[in-house]
Structure 1
Amino acid sequence: MYSFHVFEHLSYEEGIHALRELHRVLKPGGICRISTPDLEFFAREYVQQLDVLDQEGTDARQDFRYEWSCLNVIDQAVRKKSGGRMAEVLRANNVDKTYLKYLNGDSLNFVVDPNHKQSMDSPRRPTYFDGSPAPLVFRMQKLVWAVVRRVLLRLSPGLDVEIQNERNRWLYDRISLAKVFKAAGFSEIAIQEYNTSQIEDWERYDYDSSLFGKYPLEPSLFMEGKK
């Protein structure tokens, strides 16, 4: 069982409840794998960029690195509109694309390389990920949701953050996530890399690898536990 970047959108209490439910439905011996933004990674990176700024002074490149490292820690927890301060910074002319790749992997490829911009699924292009056409029921559901979303945003523009599930409600490091696994009843809790797992034949799935090289799709904390 695998959850990719979901638990940061749950409160701490909701995270424990969700992991207990995952434990409940797993067969004995089953593996649960969680990936989520790594608070330790982002916090250390922020402090490092702060130190660089103190020691070497500032320029356009360092200004971006400092602000972007800070935004990766706090922006999604406090933003009041879709995209938040991150979207504003990405529209500036001092974007360090190498640093974006380092902190965010392929998740911001549309900034790093416009040729990799992913087309968004919409009621006008109702397809599955493999490009095959979706059934009529799915198309109608997409159309209804698009209309409802438009009405809700007209009534309350700030709802876009919630509707698109941009809000981060909790961040974990290797210690706190292991405690949640333990509280949910898991054993043999272990940190993994993007390309390692206790799940049998994990390399067949390759969920966390980039399509463009030997690096993670998105830098994350990967952890697994066994029932």
Structure 2
Amino acid sequence: MKYLNLGCGDYFSKEREWVNLDFVSSYEGVIAHNLLQGIPFEDNSFDLVYHSHVLEHFSKEDGENLISECFRVLKPNGVLRIAIPDLEIIAKKYLDFLEQGISNPNDELIRANYEWMKIEMYDQTVRNTSGGNMKKYVRQDNMINEDFVIQRIGDQGRVMRNNFLNAKNSNKQVQSSEKKNTPSIITRIINKLKKVTKNKIIKFLDINLDHIAIGSFRLGGEIHQWMYDRYSLTSLLTHKGGFKIEVRDAFSSYINNWAEYKIDGKDNVVRKPDSLFIECIKK
């Protein structure tokens, strides 16, 4: 058997049947490749193609091309498994907390959950800086709905929250260290001259650095460019050549030993709880 994990990030199997590919290789054995240029393998090469929280980072058109590529490299009767943020559940929870908030305008927990669902729905589409409002929300000193947020986004939220709390606890030590390492007057003069020269060049060339920074970020791959639910993704897979389409959970699959790879979760804990898991067979 031969399996392919696209956009694997930090979650992949090192078992010999797996080929792991990501936009940037951060681990030995992970192939670096830009999926906007297609999948770099021959037709009918794999028994399984898998990607988790990758498709939503492509535009609608590029996403359709990615699905076509997945079917191209799959063997006949091979399995395509996809995990994406579930637009249906996000929308339902947003509407649920909206109604609850209208009925209970003074309930701060309901308000907090409502605000979070708005962020979960829109932030990764509209943000212009890394982490966006999601990062700001998780880095609150007092997050009254912490359990709910962690339940929604799993490891991602837990790591972000823990990093913030750890950094906060060590902040005084960092500030103290910075005071002891004040740059010399010569270094400060040189830095000032560099800044003045840079600003003059920018003004002369009529460059808007904010526009450049935002454009660079939004083309960098972090934002969500399209969203899916079980209806739209099923339609897309059917159109591209899939059948026997099934909604799964993190541990069930056409692949008999899927749970053993511990990619979508382990010990009955789902890595991305906000996910819609869908599989299909290539005709």
TM-score normalized by the length of structure 2: 0.62
Aligned residue runs from structure 1 range 45-56, under 5 A: 45-56=93-104
Higher strand share: 2
The counterpart of 1:204, out of the listed 260, 263, 266, is: 260
Q: Does the CA-based 8 Å contact 1:82-1:161 persist in structure 2?
A: no
SS of aligned partner of 2:219: helix
What are the superposed Cα offsets for residues 107-136 of structure 1, whole Å, 9 maximum, x if unpaired?
Answer: 11124444998xxxxxxxxxxxxxxxxxxx
SS of aligned partner of 2:252: coil
What is the CA–CA distance in structure 2 between the aligned matches of 1:111 and 1:24, rounded to whole Å? 37
Q: Which runs of 5 or more structure 1 residues have no equivalent in the other structure?
A: 118-152
1:105 aligned to 2:161?
Answer: no
SS of aligned partner of 1:167: coil
The counterpart of 1:217, out of the listed 271, 277, 281, is: 271
Pair 1:50–1:93, CA change in 2 (3 A):
farther
What are the superposed Cα offsets for residues 37-81 of structure 1, whole Å, 9 maximum, x if unpaired?
Answer: 000111111111111111122344333211111111111111122
The AA in structure 1 aligned to 2:251 is N
Aligned residue runs from structure 1 range 1-227, under 5 A: 1-95=49-143, 96-114=145-163, 156-158=212-214, 159-163=216-220, 165-210=221-266, 213-219=267-273, 220-227=275-282
The AA in structure 1 aligned to 2:121 is V
Runs of 4+, deviation exceeding 3 Å: 111-117
What is the CA–CA distance in structure 1 between the aligned matches of 2:135 and 2:146, rounded to whole Å? 14
Q: Corresponding residue for 1:135? A: none
Q: Percent identity?
A: 32
Q: Does the CA-based 8 Å contact 1:79-1:167 persist in structure 2?
A: yes
The AA in structure 2 aligned to 1:162 is L
The structure whose Rg is larger is: 2
How many residues were matched structurally?
189
What's the RMSD between the two structures over aligned residues?
Answer: 2.3
Q: Does the CA-based 8 Å contact 1:10-1:169 persist in structure 2?
A: yes
Q: Does the CA-based 8 Å contact 2:82-2:278 persist in structure 1?
A: yes
